[in-house]
Amino acid sequence: MELIYKIEKNEVGKTLHSILTTKLNISTRLLTKLIKNEKILVNHSPYNTKKAVNLGDCITIDFSILEDNNNIVPTPMKLDILYEDEWFLVVNKVSGMPIHPSSLHYTDSLSNGIKSYYDSIGLAKKIRPVNRLDLGTSGLVIFAKCEYIQECFIRQMANLSFQKEYLCLVNGILTTKTGTICLPIARKNGSIIERCVDENFGQSSITHYEVTKEFKNFSLVKCKLETGRTHQIRVHMATIGHPLLR
């Protein structure tokens, strides 16, 4: 789990610290861990991060720091892994399965299955789901195998280069076949789960939608999210008069 980078002409004279934090976007917290564990080499040797780099220097960063992931119980289960490499894996989550363990799902969440899988391949890393899906939602969940890749995905979600699309069945036939819903969402008073549109205290929430198929009295709608609020699609579609069937 290594990242290798060679210094280019326009980077000569910059400090190694500057290259690591600005060019490679390694967070200060992660950088501290890497330095402490001597996981950063220049030309295959330890190097002071305060020193300047030279043309052609080869930086090697090893992210295979052992991590304690015993906070999650390993539960063997059949995982539908659609893609995997040394940095991350993509798993198809079924409806009815939570991503995270909880008091009600202490051993049967997707993370429990991932912990068991990590144990089977000897990967001592924390369980890091990049995206979230509701209990009743099926779809793809990305698990980052190290902190650096998780940070990369978080930046992509922030600048919208990481896009999330959903297919949902809604009641009724939409008059406007494509559109954008911009309605702020907040937690409903008296509930820790339910969400609602709240013009005064809600967070900015943006959903782009497109009707892909129509049936007798319901529609299949593709939704693309610019924001990732809890129950965003459910709340937005209900607000425009077309609640999800489930």
* Alpha carbon distance 226, 218 (integer Å): 25
Sign of CA dihedral 210, 141, 197, 202: negative
68 part of the active site: no
- Return the ∠ at Cα 74 (arms to 71 and 76), rounded to 5°: 165
**In this structure, what token pair is assigned to residue 36?**
């402490």
**In this structure, what token pair is assigned to residue 61?**
């960063």
Nearest to residue 76, comparing CAs of 35, 107, 36? 107
Active-site option among 62, 108, 134, 198 = 134
Q: What Rg do the C-alpha atoms of the chain give, in angstroms?
A: 22
Active site residues: 134
